[in-house]
A and B are shown apart, each in its own frame.
Chain A
Amino acid sequence: KAGVTQTPRYLIKTRGQQVTLSCSPISGHRSVSWYQQTPGQGLQFLFEYFSETQRNKGNFPGRFSGRQFSNSRSEMNVSTLELGDSALYLCASSLARAQVATQYFGPGTRLLVL
């Protein structure tokens, strides 16, 4: 099976812009989670989707949003970018329906905000 794919892999934006990141989960996986990884804060949970429904959201401002499509692909959007949004954004898919299961991570999108 193909692994989790994320596009784009690298992105440079300026403050105030918005960005959309894409994630394609492993075939058959219906749960997609997003994480932000920074050197100072580690891996922070953003949100989790299952069958197009957001089941949980982390402690991030409303500028961070996401959605999941009927084919389980997911996108996350960050509006009004700030310098502090520079990070590696990781998407992970799993088979989980009722409980958090093994997370299969994609290679990530590295976002730099100037």
Chain B
Amino acid sequence: GQQVMQIPQYQHVQEGEDFTTYCNSSTTLSNIQWYKQRPGGHPVFLIQLVKSGEVKKQKRLTFQFGEAKKNSSLHITATQTTDVGTYFCAGPGDSSYKLIFGSGTRLLVRP
């Protein structure tokens, strides 16, 4: 079945360092979404990418959708302690009504 993989599983950085998580799908995606889950919280929507090669920015966060629409990345510049959490990518499954989540990347930031 369709799979969405994320790497790395964990990333421990010093505050101020950059962070990147990568998402790869076994199939072409019509769109990809990113979510953030704070410790003890629930996933919160960050952004959706639709177009091949699309790049979107939200302050220190940069999201990219690959040309083949099978991979995506999230880059955080100069991490802060408020960035701590698990970042998930998600794409439509074999049905339009089903969202497949990646395994997530847990970010820890040392102050």
Q: Which of A42, A43, A58, A105 contacts B98 (CB 8 A)?
A: A58
Given contacts A42-B104, A100-B92, contact A108 B42 (CB under 8 A): yes
Contacts of B103 in A (CB 8 A): 42
User: Which residue of A is nearest B30, CB measured?
Assistant: A99
- Beta-carbon contacts under 8 Å, A1-41 to B: 31, 33, 35
Contacts of B95 in A (CB 8 A): 55-56
Q: How large is the interface on A (under 10, 10 to 19, 20 to 34, 35 or more residues)?
A: 20 to 34
Is the Cβ of A45 less than 8 Å from the Cβ of B96? no
| Distance in Å: Cβ of B40 to nearest Cβ of chain A | 10
| Distance in Å: Cβ of A23 to nearest Cβ of chain B | 12
Contacts of A98 in B (CB 8 A): 96
Is the Cβ of A106 less than 8 Å from the Cβ of B42? yes
Chain A CB within 8 A of B22 CB: no
Complex CA gap A58/B100 in Å reads 10
Which positions in A face B, CB cutoff 8 Å?
31, 33, 35, 42-45, 48, 50, 55-56, 58-59, 90, 92, 96, 98-100, 102-108
Which positions in B face A, CB cutoff 8 Å?
1, 30, 33, 35, 41-45, 48, 88, 90, 92-93, 95-104
Known: A56-B98, A106-B42. 14 other contacts (CB 8 A): A33-B99, A35-B101, A42-B103, A43-B104, A45-B100, A50-B97, A55-B95, A56-B93, A92-B43, A98-B96, A103-B43, A103-B45, A104-B45, A105-B42
Q: Considering the complex of A and B, which 9 residue pairs feature the smallest CB-CB distances, nearest first?
A: A43-B101, A55-B97, A105-B42, A56-B98, A56-B97, A56-B95, A48-B97, A99-B96, A102-B45
